[in-house]
């Protein structure tokens, strides 16, 4: 868990590490491929279900929240409730793509020069403004599919349309293909959509056997391991609260500490080379609680100049 005291330097450091992955500076990035609650439990994590014993109301609020559903499996029920059929195909480069959500399994179909291929939709990310979809590729990778869904407009669009890799010296930028490592799930979004991740990347074979305890951001992602907390509360005499609860409480956090904790995922990017589009504003910028609106320099598949925090109203 990120250190929650001091300045926002810790958040910047984490963002810089992600930025290095985006441009390939730190080598391959691990990708999620499996689920393994036992791994997390061995490290003192008990899982969100263990919170229900005392916190049923909060569990119910969390389970259907954006945190609880930060990643969820693709199902027929989800498609019927949240999506609308795609109208026509979307041309991306030399290929055309169409999301098929009519059957029991969802697919994105790719057509090029008379050939056709389909990619299974396995996981869904987001949902406040945009739904992104993941498909399994070779060697344990999960890849962000080329089509995403605009929740407000109820329409499908090109996931990587705004993905440009910039170069110094005024060189022409290059479009980033949806199969580029920048759109491999782990490269930029894994830690904000699943809980208690273990990478399990094998450098020799360039494969991943990554595990996580739960999809979505669970209680322990923000409050720390709960196994010891559960134990001492169960052993405590009825009506007597232990002096040390062995859990991270946010009640006494300052605004700066909350920013440091949340900005790793919630302080998104603000393009400084051109005015942002409506969709970029909706999906890439987030206002953080006072005293700052934080702008970071970490977009998807591009490098931007770092800007400084702006006071409210700035």
The whole-number pLDDT of residue 268 equals 57
Give the C-alpha separation, 238 to 276, whole Å: 56
The whole-number pLDDT of residue 10 equals 38
Tell me if 129 is assigned to some domain.
yes
- DSSP one-letter string for 97-127: EEEE-SSSS-EEEEEETTEEEEEE--EEEE-
The whole-number pLDDT of residue 107 equals 98
Q: Dihedral, CA atoms, 177, 178, 184, 185, nearest 10 degrees?
A: 150
Whether this prediction's pTM lies above 0.75 is answered by no
H/E segment holding residue 186: helix 185-188
The whole-number pLDDT of residue 285 equals 37
Phi and psi (nearest 5°) for 175?
Answer: -65, 145
Tell me if 292 is assigned to some domain.
no
Tell me if 1 is assigned to some domain.
no
CB 216 within 8 A of CB 194: yes
Please report, for residues 202, 217, 264, 312, the alpha-carbon distance to residue 289 in angstroms, rounded to integers and kept in the order given. Answer: 40, 19, 14, 10
Q: What is the domain count for the chain? A: 1
In which region does residue 154 sit, left (phi positive, over 0), alpha (psi from -120 to 50) or beta (all else)?
Answer: left
The whole-number pLDDT of residue 48 equals 94
Range of the domain at 176: 9-236+244-284
The token pair at 46 is 């008990």
Tell me if 90 is assigned to some domain.
yes
Tell me if 296 is assigned to some domain.
no
The whole-number pLDDT of residue 277 equals 54
Nearest to 130 by CA among 155, 97, 107: 155
Tell me if 213 is assigned to some domain.
yes
CB 75 within 8 A of CB 83: no
Q: What is the pLDDT along the chain (314 residues), one digit of tens a residue?
A: 333 333 333 333 333 333 333 333 333 333 344 454 445 455 899 999 999 999 999 999 999 999 999 999 999 999 999 999 999 999 999 999 999 999 999 999 999 988 999 999 999 999 999 999 999 998 989 999 999 999 999 999 999 988 888 888 877 888 889 999 888 886 666 778 999 887 788 889 988 887 889 999 999 999 999 999 999 999 999 889 899 999 999 999 998 898 888 888 887 554 445 555 544 444 443 333 333 333 333 333 332 323 333 333 33
Tell me if 293 is assigned to some domain.
no
| Strand locations in the chain (E) | 71-73, 90-92, 95-100, 107-112, 115-120, 123-126, 130-136, 142-144, 147-150, 155-158, 164-165, 174-175, 194-195, 201-202, 207-208, 214-215
The whole-number pLDDT of residue 21 equals 37
Tell me if 27 is assigned to some domain.
yes
């Amino acid at each position: 868990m990120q250190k929650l005291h001091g300045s926002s330097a810790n958040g910047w450091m984490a963002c810089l590490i992600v930025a290095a992955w985006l441009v390939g500076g730190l080598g391959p990035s691990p990708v999620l491929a499996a689920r393994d609650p036992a791994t997390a439990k061995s490290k003192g994590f008990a899982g969100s279900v263990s919170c229900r014993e005392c916190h049923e109301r909060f569990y119910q609020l969390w389970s259907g929240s954006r945190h609880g559903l930060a990643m969820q499996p693709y199902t027929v029920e989800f498609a019927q409730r949240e999506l609308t059929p795609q109208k026509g195909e979307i041309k991306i480069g030399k290929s055309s793509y169409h999301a098929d959500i009519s059957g029991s399994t969802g697919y994105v179909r790719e057509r090029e020069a008379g050939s056709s291929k389909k990619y299974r939709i396995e996981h869904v990310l987001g949902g406040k403004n945009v739904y992104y979809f993941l498909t399994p590729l070779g060697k344990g990778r999960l890849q962000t599919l080329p089509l995403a869904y605009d929740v407000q407009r109820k329409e499908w669009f090109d996931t990587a349309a705004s993905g440009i890799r910039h170069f110094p010296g005024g060189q022409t930028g290059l479009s980033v293909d949806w199969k580029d490592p920048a759109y491999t799930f782990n490269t930029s979004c894994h830690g904000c959509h699943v809980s208690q991740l273990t990478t399990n990347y094998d450098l020799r074979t360039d494969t991943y056997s990554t595990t996580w305890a739960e999809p979505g951001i669970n209680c322990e992602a923000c409050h720390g391991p709960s196994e010891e907390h559960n134990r001492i509360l169960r052993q405590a005499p009825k009506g007597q609260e232990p002096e040390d609860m062995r859990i991270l409480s946010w009640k006494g956090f300052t605004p700066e500490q909350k920013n440091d904790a949340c900005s790793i995922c919630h302080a998104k990017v603000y393009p400084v080379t051109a005015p942002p589009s409506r969709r970029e504003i909706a999906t890439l910028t987030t206002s953080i609680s006072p005293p700052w609106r934080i702008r970071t320099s970490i977009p998807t598949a591009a490098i931007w100049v770092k800007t400084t925090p702006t006071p409210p109203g700035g």
